[in-house]
């Protein structure tokens, strides 16, 4: 079996009641855009652990994974890019954003 180059990213689809948490990116190629809290999986880290880590780092929220809700696969410059979105049940809805990563946030009707 031969190896391939692969980037693995994750997102936290965090829902409380009928509202979903969205964040506005502060930096990078997606600065100013809104989306789910997200990031890359670190070497040796499982995707669901990375999802919870990113949610805690970006928004100060802890939670529990309740399922996989989406998969996106693309190829860019011969590198396979896989992005997994997990449903997260938050322990709290109190958000403390990292201003270096997140410009703004909101709980929006789902």
CB neighbourhood size of 47 (10 A): 16
**What separation in angstroms does the CA of 60 have from each of 5, 19, 78, 98?**
32, 17, 35, 8
Confidence of residue 2 (pLDDT cuts 50, 70, 90): confident
pLDDT digits (tens, 9 = 90+) for 27-85: 988 899 999 999 999 999 999 999 999 999 999 999 999 999 999 999 999 899 999 99
Separation CA 16–CA 47 (nearest Å): 22
Separation CA 39–CA 20 (nearest Å): 18
Q: What is the model's pLDDT at position 71?
A: 98
Separation CA 37–CA 11 (nearest Å): 6
pLDDT digits (tens, 9 = 90+) for 3-30: 888 999 999 999 999 999 999 999 988 8
Confidence of residue 1 (pLDDT cuts 50, 70, 90): confident
> Which domains are present in the chain?
6-109 (3.90.79.10)
pLDDT digits (tens, 9 = 90+) for 83-107: 999 999 999 999 999 889 999 999 9
């Amino acid at each position: 079996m031969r190896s391939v180059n692969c980037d693995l990213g994750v997102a936290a689809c965090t829902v409380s009641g009928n509202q979903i948490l969205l964040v506005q990116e502060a930096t990078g190629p997606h600065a100013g855009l809104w989306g789910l809290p997200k990031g890359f999986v670190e070497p040796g880290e499982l995707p669901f652990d990375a999802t919870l880590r990113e949610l805690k780092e970006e928004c100060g929220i802890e939670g529990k994974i309740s399922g996989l809700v989406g998969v996106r696969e693309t190829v860019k410059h011969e590198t396979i890019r896989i992005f997994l979105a997990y449903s997260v049940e938050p322990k709290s809805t109190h958000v403390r954003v990292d201003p270096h990563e997140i410009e703004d946030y909101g709980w929006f009707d789902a």
